[in-house]
Amino acid sequence: MASPSFDQLGLIAPLLQAVRELGYEHPSPVQEQAIPLVLAGRDLKAGAQTGTGKTAAFALPILQRLAPQASSSASPARHPVRALILTPTRELAIQVEESFREYGKHLPIRSAVVYGGADMNAQILQLRKGVEVLVATPGRLLDHVQSKTVMLNQVGILTLDEADRMLDMGFLPDIRRIIALLPAVRQNLLFSATFPDEIRGLVGSLLRNPAEVQIAARNAVADLVTHVVHPVAREKKRELLSYLIQTRNLQQVLVFCGTRIGANRLAHQLRKDRIQADAIHGDKSQAERLIALEGFKAGKTAVLVATDVASRGLDIEGLPQVINFDIPHSPEDYVHRIGRTGRAGLTGEAISLVAPPDMEALAAIERLIKKKLDRVLVPGFQPDGGTAATLMGREARPARREQEPRREQAPRPMAPRPQARPPAQPRPQGDPIFSKPYEPSAPDGSAAPKSEAPQSSKRRQPQVAALLGGMKRA
């Protein structure tokens, strides 16, 4: 069956022209299914594997729905905010707004992006000119609301991109405050790679009779990505990472670290190993993050060490490898991390360095994606034999059971030794000083022969008696 074209989705000519100029001929599955539903005005919950074109699936129909109200007037009043797109990270916000500009370049529709860590005054100047499409992170948007530099009373379309993270506990209060500022009648769109069960209840309160698009199994990973786990001793993780990069001559690899301090330290250690590396995380300014990202995309930096703030929305064309230096605590984050590779029909590789403390997190990931990841030991870096066998899988466990009886048999020859101790214990019981009642000495000395026998066999009796004050020296 021939793949459909964008012409068959009902898009207007200016949008089709922009799509062709960008080199796209056929829509992805999520675009094919979502675009007609959004054009029809339906609320939508869409789940698809990361890297399958979710942004175009909502950007193109939103632009088309705004086209009838588009104006070439320079007056800001003719360009109110009509579509609001919320994203969890600055990087994703920037990329989504760039997509709107590229797709809408033949339409008189203005777009802008606001996010934290950047000059708010520059954003205010842009907002005052009037924008129909506003892409924002929740915190900075509320800053503008507080400053009365943005009005949301004409928003007709609300989009939550990466909805699972946006509806996480940390974002939910801000989202509710923003929703309270919007018109009650509006279209709501949620796009994400994963929809955990606990999030679905929250989703139900935001959408009205939504259509649902699920391109792949929930929480699935791309088929074009190969997965490999390298069991490693915890103290050798950094050495193994350098070894893999150098021996395999990896030229462009995204490495995920669990903390900001850890990301900085790991990038510094890689540079000491003569590997061009940089770090990107929330403590860096937006300018620093953009410089690091652009250097990585341009090939100036071979390794970009990132925290999970960078795992959402990063679009790096042709990224061949992703390495999990630290295993994510949330298994859903594994899906998003490895979604940076294997995009747009290209193959990719996801490598995870798993130390003994990571075993539980690895098991949770395998349960989520319903797939057992291949284990490969790297000589010289593996943990001790017993732990390595456990990390390698259940088939290695019987070898451990054979060794257990040997450990139990070792102390058995020593068992008879405690039985030799009881004969020595009655000695204090036979000592007349403690076991026999006190009897005064006979004045006529007739009892003397009886007392001499015990004294000759018990030499310690006089000494003990002397200590107790019961004898008189001659």
DSSP track, 349-392: EEEEEE-GGGHHHHHHHHHHHT-PPEE---TTT---HHHHHHHH
Place of tokens 């989703």: 203
- Contacts for 164 with CB less than 8 Å, ≥ 6 apart: 192, 193, 194, 195, 196, 199, 332
What is the structure's pLDDT at 383?
Answer: 80
Place of tokens 């699972």: 164
| Long-range pairs, 447-456, Cβ under 8 A, ≥24 | none
Helix and strand element counts for the chain (H, E): 20, 14
pTM of the prediction?
Answer: 0.67
Q: Across the strands, what pairs with 136?
A: 86, 114
Is the model's pLDDT at 204 over the cut of 60? yes
Closest residue by Cα to residue 306 from 325, 320, 291: 325
Q: Three-state SS for 413?
A: helix
Is the model's pLDDT at 451 over the cut of 50? no
Q: Distance between the two ends of the chain, CA-based, in angstroms?
A: 124
Q: Kindly indicate the confidence band of residue 416, based on its pLDDT and cuts at 50, 70 and 90.
A: very low
Is the model's pLDDT at 152 over the cut of 80? yes
pLDDT mean across residues, the chain: 80
Task: Please tell me the distance from the alpha carbon of residue 105 to that of residue 109, in angstroms, as a whole number.
Answer: 8
Q: Across the strands, what pairs with 323?
A: 255, 351
pLDDT 10s digits, 262-282: 999 999 999 999 999 999 887
Closest residue by Cα to residue 56 from 101, 1, 7: 101
Residue 52 φ then ψ, to 5°: -105, 10
Is the model's pLDDT at 5 over the cut of 90? no
Alpha-carbon distances of 5 from 26, 37, 110, 175, rounded to whole Å: 5, 16, 27, 36
Place of tokens 């699936």: 57
Percent of the chain with pLDDT over 70: 74
What is the structure's pLDDT at 60?
Answer: 97
Alpha-carbon distances of 18 from 103, 106, 394, rounded to whole Å: 5, 7, 53
Torsion angle, alpha carbons of 285, 286, 292, 295, to 10: -150
pLDDT 10s digits, 49-103: 666 788 999 999 999 999 999 988 989 999 999 999 999 888 889 989 999 999 9
